[in-house]
Structure 1
Amino acid sequence: MGYRDGVIAGKEAAAQEGFNAGYKQAVLSGYNWGMVRGVTSALAGLPASLRDKLAATGESKDRLGRLYESVQSISSDDALKMFHEDMSSRGSKKPHSQAEESCSAEVSADEPAAGCGQLDNYLAKLESLTTGFPDVKLHWERKTLVHKE
């Protein structure tokens, strides 16, 4: 019975550790995805005359529209699937924080950013887009997982 109790306790400890690590990654990705949805919705929801005044160029306004439409077309279930695919494809290659750090904010409106997961790519696009709205001051930051050795 002692052996069986030890095996059960070991399984529970390992499962809890995996849950804790996965939860941290999911919360951070969820936060970042929520910021993308919220900021694009807020900017796209401005009256057209105000958006025209705030956008540095017509291209910035068009990029916002494309990003907003793209983000809004993704359901919560689809976002969850994308997150799962990103985590599965990373596997043991990189910790989550390193993948996010290598994700470049210098992206075009339609091309994926190098080093980004699917959801991280939308955040990189938003970060790149905000330079096209110089009078809009956004007070948010990319949240990353601090990887402890």
Structure 2
Amino acid sequence: MLIKGTEVELKFNHRFYKNIVKGYKSKDTDGFSNFINGLIQKDPDALIAGYKFGLIGKKITDDEVADALEDSGIFDKDNPYKDLYKKVVKSGFLKAKIQLMKKNAEEDYQTIKELLNKASLKKDEKEALENQFKMTEQQYLKQKKAMEELAK
């Protein structure tokens, strides 16, 4: 990747993970989860973050990375999110972290589903849980499908 006239190397590994967890976090979510969810949602900021934290060597600003991505035409490609995802999962460590994210999402989904099936809930509690389940189910299924699409 060429940034400000200098060829820079990208590497997606544990160091990338450590840096993106801290550098791309939000109030409630770690940076790696934000990054993967951003790729799923096709958020250009996720591309910028992924490339920024994947760079080896000197610190580069978001604007410098965004300019380099723009200059190289990455934003104009058919599916740059899938391309970056494929680079990330080449790392066994990062692939394992993504599999753990999937497993945790599946477990959360199943837990709420099991709670719904318990007869001991009061009517209003059950309705609230059903609403939460519907939202969780939609989000889970959407994320699962998007992750499968990225992996193709």
TM-score by length of 1: 0.30
TM-score by length of 2: 0.30
